Amino acid sequence: MPILCEPASSAGELLSGIDGEVRKADTLGAAAKLLDADPNETLVIIGPRAVTGDALAFAAALRLARPAVGVILARREVDVALLSRAMQSGVRDVVPVGDDAAMAAACRRSYEVSRRMLAPPTEDESTPGQIVTVFAAKGGCGKTSLAVNLGVVLARQGAARVCVVDLDLAFGDVAISVQLDPLRTIMDALPMAGHLDHSGAASLLTRYQPGLDMLLAPVTPGDAEKIPPRLVGELLAILRGMYDFVVIDTPAQFSEHVLTAMDVSSQLVLLTTPDVTALKSLRVTLDMLDMLSYPRQIRSVVVNRADSKVGLSIEHVQKVVRCEIAAQVPSSRAVPVSVNKGVPIALDSPGHPVSQSVAKFAQQRLMAPSTARRSEGRARGKRRVA
């Protein structure tokens, strides 16, 4: 039963947005006493009568003492400065007074974050998860589709906790490809830069399926330039401790953000299609990875639309790229159909040849026991930064 900190005379305007019964506290001190008396409580809603500075100090102290307890702040006016201060203090959401839908959504998100934090681990939490970066230097190869479907097949195992990260910060398509509403994106991590923790990272995520969450790209033009590569590294370090697999969808360029992800990756999935321009881009990519000293044993070349009748055989592809082909994903009209439906093909049709090829690759290259040994030699610290 959540705690509502607001004098009884004005509490009514907040109650309609909160599902079920609440316990009322006139002051922050009274709310603290209710929390002390109930170690299982996970939500406190602070109304507009509480002084903002006092409310933020309350949230900051609670973040250290009981990090699984979420704080939602209700204010009559919400601006960027308040949002920044609130996130730095550990507040999970700031909601305008009178917006019942926003309040209900904020409560649901906060309960979900608390649930994740309090859930018993399925395996040794000291073992970090694998970061899998999907990359192609040429656009249109199907990176987003492969990343999302990899997330689906990895999470399908049940024991695996998976997060798909959309690192295409300017033109990310993960949200639209699965019809998710990006209420929270990586942009919301900016106020927490330098002191991001488990609770803060969890508040950024969007649940897609049981065991599968997503960190979505910004939706406003220009926001990509505001996200420093250092924040990406900070986020990935936290997510590795929260998930068994973190699958990263990337833009078609060697940006500093992409290199930051590659530095901590257990596996680099290099995607191509059987056409001259894509193969040239892949060859350049492999040479670049050699130059930057990324280990060859963590690279997997995947050929998408491998059976396309374009005059280039798999043998020719292998000759051009001069390395093993780890997987071949067949061409099918069902893939764009699934994208237009907003349902990944691995979820909509697990028995489809495309789904089976992705699942086979995941099983052999990502989930096999040898992968755990290979992860000890991941590329972190290998790249030289000028």
**Which pLDDT score, from 0 to 100, does residue 379 have?**
46
pLDDT value at residue 375: 44
Q: Chain centroid to CA 34: how far? A: 34
> Sign of dihedral through CA atoms 368, 372, 377, 378?
positive
SS (H, E, C) the chain: CCEEECCHHHHHHHHCCCCCCCEEECCHHHHHHHHHHCCCCCEEEECCCCCHHHHHHHHHHHHHHCCCCEEEEEECCCCHHHHHHHHHHCCCEEEECCCHHHHHHHHHHHHHHHHHHHCCCCCCCCCCCEEEEEECCCCCCCHHHHHHHHHHHHHCCCCCCEEEEECCCCCCCHHHHCCCCCCCCHHHHHHHCCCCCHHHHHCCCEEEECCEEEECCCCCCCHHHHCCHHHHHHHHHHHHHHCCEEEEECCCCCCHHHHHHHHCCCEEEEEECCCHHHHHHHHHHHHHHHHCCCCHHHEEEEEECCCCCCCCCHHHHHHHHCCCEEEEECCCCHHHHHHHHCCCHHHHCCCCHHHHHHHHHHHHHHCCHHHHHHHCCCCCCCCCCC
Q: Integer distance in angstroms from the first to the last C-alpha of the chain?
A: 54
Q: How far apart are CA 192 and CA 82, in angstroms?
A: 13
The low-confidence residues of the chain, meaning pLDDT below 50, are 124, 369-382, 384-386
pLDDT at 353: 93
Domains along the chain with CATH numbers? 3-118 (3.40.50.2300), 130-375 (3.40.50.300)
| Total-model pTM | 0.73
pLDDT, tens only, 116-166: 777 765 554 556 789 999 999 888 889 999 999 999 999 986 667 999 999
Q: In this predicted structure, what is the pLDDT of residue 81?
A: 84
Q: What is the pLDDT of residue 177?
A: 93
| Residue that the structure tokens 């509490």 belong to | 11
Nearest-CA neighbor of 28 among 20, 36, 38?
36
